[in-house]
């Protein structure tokens, strides 16, 4: 103990810090079961049980928000998971390493800018005056006249998904490319000798080679899928597309902090967390059974 | 080069489908480059183009009537200067302190002989799987008196489990003999960490520094939630966000927020040019660093995610 004093001094403050900033907010979940009033001590709070959860489930708006959250989660999960794999596979097939490196470097670029910047760029690209998307679509005669994409509720989910893929595709492909670099080149040679073409080599060598990585990333993404946050929705949304853009976290933000209904906002956050945990456990259990790989 | 290919093709009979695959792949990748780069070039071109001319449309990747006027105008916009200063400050302070805290605790966790190693590991790793959520976190910040302070940009983001794990994985791979010889020479644990471990951890520290810096520079919603009432604590991202929200909600409202910089300027400068110039100012600092750190972060990402 004595000779490890310095190691304790170096780590215990961080543990205290983690308790305050990460564990105390979880203690705050008790607020959802109270009629929380700021300024009162914990023992003075009025306990109301599941009242706020019942109110939540009786609110019609909640189901709209839940729908938006689930649909966007699934779209972001599928696109944000599959497209980086395809991109990594295709990138891996490039023989020219300078070109390969250039594509890779350029594809990371959007990852480094904020969602604020991405929202600014997306709005510009989709605008009716001078937005490249409208110009291309009109000149190809796909559209008769420019469309105000950002004002179309039914396009909002697609816009968020495409923006997300644009921003994170390159970055998310790093891990798959790294896994591909670890595949034994002799396997490719052997497949070639056996007469396997490009697609067969991808199908029978590359994809099985990165299967463990795919599994881990998939399970992690499923665990995070409902916690999609509110950043994208808040920045890309506007009053015209609200019915499609509002998600659970945004709902918690508006009610919890905006209107000062702290207990209700906390109940929304708890609901959000519980659904994520259930999804994570389900996914993990499923994959354990199917593939004998597990992250937990 | 060509000879080599031909030799290969006789061995493995490169079929036309193989060639077709290559061509399609190259075209697709070139297309991806265009999609990734065009938006940035377009924004840059608009920000460098005369604003009244921009309204006519047709600006793609080159400005038609080159001017630095848009940049001159945003330089007069006080909130932006304050925001820029705060963004730089939070990025520098947050990165230095975050790097220190994460690497220090990572070092203690990499020490096989440290008694509390497993307990502390579990406490830290658990934080990756849950969070209190928006409202409880907000209430905590309020109770700690952090709302409307600069400290809220630094404190809650100091220790990140993910960063600690990545640094620790790197340290786990270092030879033990290094530390032992230092110990024989009488160095204490902190000295070993500071003088011996940190210098050899440069690659992973560079990666984590980039991660923290990008996160800090790009953060806007802490300003939005906690500090929006205090103009002195604004950040660059938040200012851009306000202008963006104004222009998308109702075109024209954005001009009012910029108009503070002088009526004369407002008549000549459209909100779009302003927005694009601010967007560029927000992007450039980060884009200057990432190509240099790329070889580190590719390694860092791989290490962190596989282990």
> Residue A97 has which token pair?
């390493």
**Residues A232, A244: contact at Cβ < 8 Å?**
no
Q: Which residue has the higher pLDDT, B223 or A222?
A: B223
The answer to whether the Cβ–Cβ distance between B37 and A132 falls below 8 Å is: no
Residue A54 φ/ψ, nearest 5 degrees: -65, -45
> Residue B71 has which token pair?
């940049």
What pLDDT, on a 0 to 100 scale, did the predictor assign at position B268? 44
- Residues of chain A in contact with residue B220, where contact means CB-CB under 8 angstroms, are 114-116
* ipTM summary value: 0.88
The DSSP bridge partners found for residue B66 are B49
The answer to whether the Cβ–Cβ distance between A105 and B291 falls below 8 Å is: yes
What pLDDT, on a 0 to 100 scale, did the predictor assign at position B270? 55
For the packed helices B271-306 and A115-125, what is the interaxial angle rounded to 10 degrees? 130
| Cα-based distances in Å from B265 to A35, A251, B74, B261, B269 | 51, 39, 10, 7, 6
List average pLDDT for each run of 10 residues in chain A, which is 296 residues long.
82 94 90 84 84 92 91 89 95 88 90 93 88 90 88 93 94 90 89 86 91 83 70 89 89 87 91 79 76 59
- The DSSP output letter for A279 is H
| Residues in B 153-172 with any Cβ partner in A closer than 8 A | 155-156, 158-159
Residue B180 φ/ψ, nearest 5 degrees: -65, -40
| Residues in B 238-257 with any Cβ partner in A closer than 8 A | 240-241, 244-245, 247-249
Q: Residues with Cβ < 8 Å from A96, sequence gap 6 or more? A: none
What pLDDT, on a 0 to 100 scale, did the predictor assign at position B37? 94
CA distance A84 to A91: 10
User: Where is average pLDDT lowest: A153-167, B6-20, B39-53, B232-246?
Assistant: B6-20
Q: Which range scores top for mean pLDDT: A160-169, B52-61, B63-72?
A: A160-169
> Residue A75 has which token pair?
């779209």
Instruction: Establish, for the pair of chains A and B, how many residue pairs have beta carbons separated by less than 8 Å.
Output: 253
Which helix (H) or strand (E) segment holds residue A285: the answer is helix A262-291
Q: Binning pLDDT at 50, 70 and 90, where does residue B267 land?
A: very low
- Residues of chain B in contact with residue A249, where contact means CB-CB under 8 angstroms, are 134
Q: Which residue has the higher pLDDT, B170 or B301?
A: B170
Sign of the alpha-carbon torsion through A211, A213, A215, A217: negative
Predicted TM-score of the model (pTM):
0.87
Using CB atoms, which residue from B39, B116, B136 is nearest to A25?
B136
Does the structure show a pLDDT above 70 at B269? no
């Amino acid at each position: 103990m004595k000779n490890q004093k310095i190691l304790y001094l170096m780590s215990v403050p961080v543990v205290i810090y983690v308790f305050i900033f990460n564990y105390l907010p979880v203690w705050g979940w008790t607020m959802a079961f109270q009629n929380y009033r700021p300024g009162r001590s914990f023992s003075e709070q009025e306990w109301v049980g599941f009242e706020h959860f019942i109110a939540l489930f009786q609110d019609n708006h909640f189901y709209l928000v839940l729908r938006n959250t689930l649909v966007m989660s699934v779209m972001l999960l599928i696109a944000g998971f599959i497209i980086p794999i395809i991109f990594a596979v295709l990138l891996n097939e490039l023989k020219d390493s300078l070109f390969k490196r250039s594509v890779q470097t350029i594809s990371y670029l959007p990852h480094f800018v904020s969602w604020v910047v991405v929202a600014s760029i997306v709005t510009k690209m989709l605008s009716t005056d001078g937005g490249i998307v409208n110009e291309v679509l009109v000149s190809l005669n796909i559209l008769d006249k420019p469309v105000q994409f950002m004002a179309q509720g039914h396009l909002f989910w697609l816009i968020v998904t495409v923006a997300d893929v644009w921003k994170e595709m390159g970055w998310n492909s790093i891990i798959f490319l790294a896994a591909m670099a670890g595949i034994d080149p002799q396997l490719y040679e052997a497949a070639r000798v056996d007469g396997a073409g490009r697609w067969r080599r991808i199908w029978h060598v590359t994809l099985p080679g990165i299967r463990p990585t795919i599994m881990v990333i998939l399970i992690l993404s499923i665990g995070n899928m409902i916690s999609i946050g509110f950043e994208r929705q808040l920045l890309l949304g506007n009053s015209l597309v609200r019915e499609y853009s509002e998600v659970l976290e945004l709902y918690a933000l508006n009610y919890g902090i905006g209107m000062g209904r702290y207990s209700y906002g906390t109940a929304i956050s708890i609901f959000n967390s519980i659904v994520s945990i259930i999804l994570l456990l389900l996914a993990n259990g499923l994959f354990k059974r199917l593939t004998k790989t597990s992250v937990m | 080069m060509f000879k080599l290919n031909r030799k290969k093709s006789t061995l493995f009979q490169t079929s036309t489908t193989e060639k077709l695959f290559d061509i399609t792949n190259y075209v697709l990748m070139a297309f991806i480059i265009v999609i990734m780069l065009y938006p940035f070039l377009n924004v840059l071109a608009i920000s460098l183009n005369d604003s009244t001319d921009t309204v006519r449309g047709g600006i793609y990747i080159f400005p038609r009537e080159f001017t630095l006027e848009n940049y001159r105008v945003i330089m007069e916009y006080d909130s932006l200067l304050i925001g820029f200063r705060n963004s730089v400050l939070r990025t520098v302070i947050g990165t230095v302190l975050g790097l220190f805290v994460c690497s220090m605790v990572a070092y203690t966790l990499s020490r096989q002989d440290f008694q509390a190693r497993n307990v502390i590991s579990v406490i830290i790793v658990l934080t990756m799987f849950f969070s209190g959520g928006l409202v409880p976190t907000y209430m905590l910040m309020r109770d700690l008196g952090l709302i409307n302070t600069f400290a809220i940009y630094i404190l809650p983001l100091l220790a990140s489990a993910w960063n600690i794990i990545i640094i620790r994985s790197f340290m786990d791979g270092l030879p033990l003999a290094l530390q032992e010889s230092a110990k024989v020479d009488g160095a204490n644990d902190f000295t070993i960490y500071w003088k011996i471990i940190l210098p050899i951890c440069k690659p992973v520290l560079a990666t984590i520094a980039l991660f923290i810096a990008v996160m800090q520079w790009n953060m806007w919603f802490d300003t939005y939630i906690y500090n929006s009432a205090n103009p002195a604590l604004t950040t660059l991202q938040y200012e851009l966000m306000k202008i963006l929200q104004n222009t998308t909600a109702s075109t024209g409202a954005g001009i009012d927020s910029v108009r503070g910089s002088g009526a004369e300027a407002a008549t000549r400068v459209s909100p779009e040019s302003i927005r694009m110039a601010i967007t560029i100012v927000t992007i450039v600092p980060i884009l200057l660093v990432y190509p240099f750190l790329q070889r580190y972060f590719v390694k860092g990402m791989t290490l962190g995610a596989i282990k």
